[in-house]
Structure 1
Amino acid sequence: MLSWMQQRLEVISGCAFRSFFLLSAAAAVLLIGLWLGFLHSGRGIAFGVAGPFAWHLHEMLWGLSLAALIGFLLTALPEFVKASEPPRRLIVLLALLWLAGRLAALTAGWLGYWPLLLLHWALLLLLCRWVLPPLWRDPRRRHRGFLWGLLLLCVLRLGLDQALLRGAPAMPWLHATLHLFMLLILLAHGRISLRIVNRHLDALQITERRFLPRPPLRHLATSLIALYALVQLLASLVPGLLSPALQGWLALAAAAALLNLLNDWRIGRELWQPHVILLFALPLCMAVGYGLLGFAQLGAGIALSAGWHWLGIAALGLSLLVVMSIAGRLHSGLDLDRRAWLPVAGLLLLGSVLARSLSTLGHDWLFWISLSACAWMLAFACWAVWLWPVLTRLRPGQQGC
């Protein structure tokens, strides 16, 4: 038994995507399970970061999303800029810091915020020390968006930390961090879609068409999301500075720009494979989220939380599911998994966000939130069941990652 566990740990700790994708999936199930337990009992995590609701969003972003981002960056960096593979000791140290951070976030009401701050900054600085230099030295500068994204993540962490220490509201900084993750998802989405869609075209021996995401459309979408995030953060920090109407129109502009990205996907029905469909759905889910935020801020009678949850459950959750599914198999030397579990998991996430949206109507809200949480947990449990055998053992004759 000990020998079996040791072999699995050696495989998992040897590759960043194995370690952090599994941590992210575990967090998606366990942290939402804790949140659901709190909602039903009123006890358990009320002593976390700035109260239970801020803890919930904090762990969605700085827990499971950050784990997936670390796994993606450390795995993709050697492909992006020909950097060296991260050593095992770096992966283990980052994983331990991440795990300690989850415990510190849960017990911040008892231990204070300093352990949480120190652990997250140790993790961020260590990650930056490994990732930023090769991205900066890349002569083609094609992937510098991840460099600026990681630096902005540090800036937002600094803003969140000073708010926590002063007792100021944490949600504005957490919402800004959610916007930043939307930008990082768009950066990764274009690169992954380019590879996966053209891979399907090659498999079908279709040579007359190529999928090529157009940079102007993506620059417009990212610019509008960034502008909306900045305006919303300023409006939250300085009440009365900027009108809700301005924020609402900017959110609708961002939604329109995201819908415009779908023009890149005129590629034919023969490419409607599970991975392609889910990649296509990502900007659509983002557009729905920003559209709902815009209409809510323009006084359409829609709850703001509906828009936030379309971004957090549908867009963020779907991106984690798709990226971890694709990268987990391809970097394990396997072909994409075309079994039915992946579209089923995607539908579970869609059901999760629909149930969460229904909870804003006020009727049996706890039932709908519980249903949403269960659908979310089941989606990532499906991922864990199908990817666990892939990520915990090397194929015969395979070396490295």
Structure 2
Amino acid sequence: MNDTTSLRHDDGPVLLAFAFRPFFLLTALYAAGLVAAWVAFLFGGLPLPLGVNPIQWHAHELLFGMVPAAIAGFLLTAMCNWTGASPLKSGGLLALILLWTAGRAAMWLSGWLPLWLVAAIDLAFLPAMAAYVARVLLRHGNYRNLVLVALLSLLTGANLLMHLGFSGLWLGGGRLGEILALDLIATLMVVIGGRITPAFTANWLRMQGKDPTQVRRSEALDRAAFWSMVAILPVDLAMPFSVLTSLMALFAALVNGWRLHAWRGWKASGEPLIWILHFAMAWIVVALLLKAMTPWLALSPSVWMHAMGAGAGGTLILGVMTRVAVGHTGRPMRLPRLAIWIYIAVITAGAVRVIGAFVPQLAYPALTVSAVAWVVAFLLFVLIYWPILSRPRADGRPG
């Protein structure tokens, strides 16, 4: 392989050959950099040119900076499999990357820019991605997945609520937007995780010469899991932290827990690329249970929110990225050497962060340990997967 081939593939840079390549690296780099800067701000006095509430800025950038990059990497890649459409690449992909980058720059420089301009720049990415995805799905008659476009559109609305809070036009908008965003991201995880986790588990069992029908899938249960999450949205909008929200969260936890049990994740306990997905889906159930317990035990909402964000979100994002990165580059479907520490670190980060939210006396040391583990997890992803994502496919195919 000559140098030209390693730099360019399919008439364009390798990193722009498929959306998962740049967006997965950006997700990991931003996740690590954001949390490192946040801890440096809290404990070291790092000056940040912010024109908004620092705590809500931190939440916003995780929910609307890191997570949408991960969604873009997965969704723009997966829909090519769903529809047979050509991937977004080269100039078109670069334009979307620049739009995401502009939003991040605007949020980091919000102390120097008019807040209306910050909002306009930051709000552009999700609608642009949703419009492109909708166009491809409609062109290929793939109406089933339009629900993901709807969720992305609602996520834009949650982002708008946060910006209304930042600007002072609606003081409660920031907190409400944060809760709505977590609910929507959890719903996306229930949909996406609900498709790939049992499918990958059954396929692995088949490849091991075992019975794949041990993984039990039910369309009725999938629908129940989805609608149990959707039902929480209007309740959280009207009555966040209420008893009704608690009951809805408990129902969603039971349905999603039942579905997770039916997938028989322990049957694939010997394959890290599989069990990490089950672990992430279990985090969703735990977060919903904690949400249900919040008004009864007078828990801080931070407990369930970090269980859903740092726990479920961080684990599923890394679980998906580590798998897609090898599967879509023509490499053996196994975890690279030392990559198991990515999983250990992100699980540690989520667990310690939730413990810190549970026990106020441990808040600061727990935040420090959690942040270090989080940064280690995502930096390890960059170090281990950069050579994979920045080079052509191992099998010589385009993409």
- Asked if Structure 1 and Structure 2 have the same fold, meaning a TM-score greater than 0.5 normalized by the shorter chain, the answer is yes
Matches within 5 A, 1:1-400: 7=7, 10-45=13-48, 47-48=50-51, 50-139=52-141, 141-165=143-167, 166-169=169-172, 170-207=174-211, 209=213, 211-236=215-240, 244-266=242-264, 269=267, 272-298=270-296, 300-339=297-336, 341-360=338-357, 361-395=359-393, 398-400=396-398
1:46, 1:52 within 8 Å by CA — same for their partners in 2? no
SS at match of 1:209: helix
Distance 1:218 1:71, change over 3 A: same
In 2, the alpha carbon distance for the partners of 1:270 and 1:69 equals 25
Sort the Cα spacing of 1:139 and 1:103 in 2 relative to 1 into closer, same or farther, 3 A: closer
CA distance in 2, matches of 1:283, 1:65: 16
104-113 or 189-198, which deviates more: 189-198
Give the partner amino acid of 1:79: N
Cα distance, 1:323 vs. partner?
0.9
Q: Residue 155 of structure 1: SS of its match in structure 2?
A: helix
Shift of 1:270: 5.5
Q: Which amino acid aligns with 1:217?
A: L
Letter in 2 for 1:38: F
Does the C-alpha gap of structure 1 residues 28 and 244 become closer, same or farther in structure 2, counting only changes over 3 Å?
A: same
Deviations 1:246-277 (A, max 9, x none): 22222222221221112322376356411221
Structure 2 Cα separation of the partners of residues 120 and 127 of structure 1: 13
Q: 1:72 offset after TM fit, Å?
A: 1.1
Deviation at 1:56, TM superposition (A): 0.9
Change (3 A) 1:140 1:68: closer
The code of the aligned residue for 1:334 comes to R
CA spacing shift, 1:56–1:334, aligned 2, 3 Å:
same
Q: Secondary structure at the match of 1:205?
A: coil
Q: Find the aligned partners of 2:126 and 2:301 in 1 and give their Cα distance.
A: 30
Counterpart position of 1:239: none
Q: TM-score, normalised by structure 2?
A: 0.90
Asked if the contact 2:20–2:325 (Cα under 8 Å) also holds between the matched residues in 1, the reply is: yes
Contact kept, 8 Å, 1:201 with 1:271, in 2: the verdict is no
- Partners of 2:17 and 2:28 in 1: how far apart? 18
Residue type of the partner of 2:380? C
Instruction: Work out whether residues 82 and 142 of structure 2, in 8 Å CA contact, stay in contact via their aligned partners in 1.
Output: no
- Bigger drift between 167-176 and 113-122 goes to 113-122
Per the TM alignment, residue 121 of structure 1 is displaced from its structure 2 partner at its CA by: 3.5
Alpha-carbon distance in 2 for matches of 1:64, 1:363: 29
Deviations 1:340-361 (A, max 9, x none): 6444322222221222233232
Q: Is the 8 A contact 1:351 1:375 kept in 2?
A: yes
Using the TM superposition, name which of 389-398 and 303-312 deviates more: 389-398
Greater Cα offset, 272-281 or 333-342 = 333-342
Measured after TM superposition, the shift of residue 337 of structure 1 is 2.4
1:301 and 1:340 map into 2 onto residues whose CA distance is 44
Task: Among all aligned residue pairs of Structure 1 and Structure 2, give the percentage whose two residues are the same amino acid.
Answer: 26
Structure 1: 5+ residue stretches without partners: 237-242
Letter in structure 1 aligned against 2:235:
V
CA distance in 1, matches of 2:304, 2:279: 16
Cα deviation digits, residues 308-366 of structure 1 (max 9, x gap) = 11101110001100111111111111122234644432222222122223323222422
Deviates more, 1:273-282 or 1:6-15: 6-15
Residues 231 and 341 from structure 1, CA distance in 2 versus in 1: closer, same or farther, beyond 3 angstroms?
Answer: farther
Give the distance between the partners of 1:154 and 1:28, measured in 2 at CA. 20
- CA deviations 1:35-60 (Å, max 9, x no partner) are 11111034423725x31111111111
Structure 2 segments unaligned to the other structure (5+ residues): none
- Given the two structures, how large is their TM-score scaled by the length of structure 1? 0.89
Q: Could you tell me which residue of structure 2 aligns to residue 240 of structure 1? A: none
